[in-house]
Structure 1
Amino acid sequence: MASLSCCTPFSGQRTRWVVLEINRAEITPYKSFNKRCMKIRAEVNFVNGEEAKRLIGEEGYTVLDVRDRTQYDRARIKSCYHVPLFVENKDNDLGTIVKRTVHNNFSGLFFGLSFTKLNPDFVKSVREQFSTDSKLLLVCQEGLRSVAAANTLEKEGFQNLSCITSGLQSVKPGTFDSIGSTELENAGKAGLVTIQGKISAVLGTVLI
């Protein structure tokens, strides 16, 4: 059995990835490719915010939010499901403690990011809630985690997967009904970066 991957561009920002499984036993110099020896294994669509909204409203896609708990709590699409691809790393071995301390003193302080690790139960949790033929729109803040999650689920047999290009940070305000303390596009902003403008203004005033 061999696998062949190809990318076929469509109009707008939508891109479709198709993975084909080809049975070598059915291919000889005297026999051309045919539909019976090809099996579509999975496809992942990459769409913008407006197209994502259409997938939900017209094609019955369900939103699966794979962000960490902190960003999910700040703002999320109404009626979405939440299965984080990464979870907070609370391991207490020496190496992890050192890394977590360094992280919290820098990235955690400035960007409000938790120290995380891959969720070992990600696939299991998704399988408990969805069948492999479910139509899933995977979302994260920047678009990277949703792609990683889609690749993971594709290998597990999920067939109908879509992701928002560049994540929720690229979605125009009001595109989706959301709940939370901030707008969807701002859910990734936290820590000192959220007040750096004010700090700069104060320092500038003092210097003047």
Structure 2
Amino acid sequence: MHVCGFSHVAVSWLEFQTHHSGRITAWKPSRWRNANGIRAEVKFVKPDEAKKLVTEEGYAVVDVRDRTQFERARIKSCYHVPLFIENKDNDIGTIVLRTVHNNFSGLFFGLPFTKPNPEFTESVKNQFSAGSKLLLVCQEGLRSAAAANKLEKAGFENIACITSGLQSVPPGTFDSEGKTELQDAGKAGLVTVQGKISAVLGTVLICKSYTYAGQTPST
């Protein structure tokens, strides 16, 4: 499975390493075959191609993002099966890691402290047969690729992912719901606040430059 592939069917050859925040941090080659002895495949498609898979070929959308991003924006009528879930364990090691996370990644990026969902594959299998057509979506494309890897090993044969994830989907491509656009669902925390402050400061500086030049900025 070539993560950087575009608009083609690619063979899945990767194992993924994950960070506690739920981000895929690395991957390595891993050769395997499914239960039938056939090497499974996954489609990596562009947003417009993904829309056709759903509307014309009957693919079901499975959103594998965490709960917070899913609640911010999601494709209508999708199924939510998170690849990572919030880690509320209370052992000393987890408490320390969660505190560090909340003071940095959680504060700046609005990311929850998560762990792999041990019931991910079974949850999908309880809702879909191995022959089901599934479009897996996440925010940046890496979690959906990792989810595809797991489901292929479990025997699923008709899987597609959006290259670069929902962040690359133009507004209006899918019917969506939530309080923001699909491509913005990953933005939160101080990064969002900083972006708004930068926009305001930029506007002020532009207005000031026009004032010094004796001009009035057009609206």
TM bracket, shorter-chain basis = 0.7 to 0.9
Match of 1:146 among 127, 144, 147: 144
For residues 110 and 70 of structure 2, the distance between their equivalents in structure 1, rounded to whole angstroms, comes to 13
Q: TM-score, normalised by structure 1?
A: 0.81
Aligned to 2:135: 137
> What pairs up with 1:32-47 in 2 under 5 angstroms?
40-47=38-45
Which runs of no fewer than 5 residues in structure 1 stay unpaired? Answer: 1-5, 20-37
Specify whether residues 14 and 114 from structure 1 end up closer, same or farther in structure 2 by C-alpha distance, changes over 3 A only. same
Deviation at 1:203, TM superposition (A): 11
Aligned residue identity for 2:81:
V
* Larger relative strand fraction: 1
Q: How large is the RMSD of aligned CA atoms in angstroms?
A: 2.5
Aligned to 1:28: none
Residue 161 of structure 1 aligns to a residue in which SS?
Answer: strand
For residues 39 and 92 of structure 1, the distance between their equivalents in structure 2, rounded to whole angstroms, comes to 42
For residues 128 and 77 of structure 1, the distance between their equivalents in structure 2, rounded to whole angstroms, comes to 21
Aligned residue identity for 2:8:
T
Question: What is the count of residue pairs matched by the alignment?
Answer: 182
Q: TM-score, normalised by structure 2?
A: 0.77
**Once the two structures are superposed, what CA deviation does each residue of 1:115-156 show, in whole Å capped at 9, x if it has no partner?**
000000001100100000000000000000000000000000
Aligned residue identity for 2:55:
G
For residues 197 and 77 of structure 1, the distance between their equivalents in structure 2, rounded to whole angstroms, comes to 25
Considering only CA atoms, is the larger Rg found in Structure 1 or Structure 2? 1
Which runs of no fewer than 5 residues in structure 2 stay unpaired? Answer: 13-35, 209-219
Deviation at 1:195, TM superposition (A): 1.4
Match of 2:125 among 124, 127, 130: 127
**Once the two structures are superposed, what CA deviation does each residue of 1:149-172 show, in whole Å capped at 9, x if it has no partner?**
000000000000000000000011
Query: Does the 8 Å CA contact 1:41/1:159 hold for their aligned counterparts?
Result: no
Deviation at 1:204, TM superposition (A): 11
Aligned to 2:78: 80
Aligned to 1:30: none
Aligned to 1:27: none
Query: Does the 8 Å CA contact 1:67/1:84 hold for their aligned counterparts?
Result: yes
> What pairs up with 1:178-189 in 2 under 5 angstroms?
178-189=176-187
Residue 195 of structure 1 aligns to a residue in which SS?
Answer: helix
For residues 69 and 139 of structure 2, the distance between their equivalents in structure 1, rounded to whole angstroms, comes to 8
Post-superposition, which runs of at least 4 consecutive aligned residues in structure 1 deviate over 2 A? 38-41, 197-205
Deviation at 1:202, TM superposition (A): 5.3
Specify whether residues 161 and 203 from structure 1 end up closer, same or farther in structure 2 by C-alpha distance, changes over 3 A only. closer
Deviation at 1:198, TM superposition (A): 3.6
For residues 88 and 202 of structure 2, the distance between their equivalents in structure 1, rounded to whole angstroms, comes to 37
Query: Does the 8 Å CA contact 1:143/1:164 hold for their aligned counterparts?
Result: yes
Deviation at 1:42, TM superposition (A): 1.7
**Once the two structures are superposed, what CA deviation does each residue of 1:162-185 show, in whole Å capped at 9, x if it has no partner?**
000000000111000000000000
Match of 2:9 among 5, 13, 16: 16
